């Protein structure tokens, strides 16, 4: 990504992708946020949106870490940033279920009906936490999609932001 981020005619250089994975621990969420902001800045995301990118990626990574923790999953949380017509951030966990489906009303139904009695409060708290995270993400990111579980068993939070020259009305 040397040289200018895009030429004067608005044509983008070849699309780029940055991928990494981290151990599902809260200590690594900060690193993911910093990488997100740096890659977004290099991609040309408007400086006024960089805090939004950083916060949204942090929320999505925290959600993934909590989903792993709740299910005792030690597999890595996967993060991918794509630079093309838009800056796209994807955070994928490996949890098998999806408590708050993207098409469901947030807050409708609380998982835990089949939970052991001593786990009930923790499940309700974690479900509420996940629903709140999705509400926060929905407020931060105009282009937000939650998909899954996929064939590999995880859910993906996909978010995108406009880049200069992408033809979006939201470009700065």
Pick from 47, 53, 50, 43: which is nearest to 13 by CA? 43
- Give the C-alpha separation, 44 to 156, whole Å: 24
- SS3 string, the chain, reads CCCCCECCCCCECCCEEEEEEECCCHHHHHHHHHHHHHHHHHHCCCHHHHHHHHHHHHHHHHHHHHHHHHHCCCCCEEEEEEECCEEEEEEECCCCCCCCCCCCCCCCCCCCCCCCHHHHHHHHHHHHHHHHHHHHHHHHCCEEEEECCCCCCCCEEEEEEECCCCCCCCCC
Read off the pTM: 0.73
How do residues 103-151 score in pLDDT, each as one tens digit? 332 332 333 333 334 444 444 455 567 778 888 888 888 899 998 876 6
Domains of the chain by residue range: 17-162
The pLDDT assigned to 100 comes to 40
**Cα→Cα distances 119→21, 74, 116, 125, 153, Å:** 29, 20, 5, 10, 23
pLDDT digits (tens, 9 = 90+) for 40-80: 999 999 999 999 999 999 999 999 999 999 889 999 999 99
Q: Which residue, among 73, 88, 71, 65, has the nearest Cα to 16 in the 3D structure?
A: 88
Asked if the model's pLDDT at residue 7 lies above 70, the reply is no
Q: In CATH, which of 2.30.30.220, 3.30.565.10, 3.90.1150.10, 3.40.228.10 is domain 17-162?
A: 3.30.565.10
The two structure tokens encoding residue 139? 């407020």
Residue 8 has pLDDT above 70, yes or no: no
């Amino acid at each position: 990504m040397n040289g200018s981020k895009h030429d004067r005619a608005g044509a983008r250089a070849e699309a780029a992708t940055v991928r990494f994975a981290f151990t599902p621990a809260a200590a690594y969420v900060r690193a993911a946020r910093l990488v997100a902001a740096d890659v977004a800045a290099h991609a040309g995301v408007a400086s006024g949106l960089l805090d939004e990118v950083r916060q949204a990626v942090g929320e999505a990574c925290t959600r993934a870490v909590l989903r792993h923790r709740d299910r005792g999953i030690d597999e890595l949380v996967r993060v991918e940033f794509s630079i093309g017509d838009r800056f796209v951030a994807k955070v994928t966990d490996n949890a098998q279920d999806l408590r708050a489906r993207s098409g469901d009303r947030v807050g409708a139904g609380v998982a835990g009906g089949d939970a052991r009695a001593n786990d009930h409060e923790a499940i309700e708290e974690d479900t509420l936490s996940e629903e709140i995270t999705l509400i926060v993400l929905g407020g931060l990111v105009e282009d937000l999609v939650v998909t899954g579980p996929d064939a590999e068993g995880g859910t993906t939070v996909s978010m995108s932001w406009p880049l200069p020259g992408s033809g979006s009305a939201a470009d700065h």
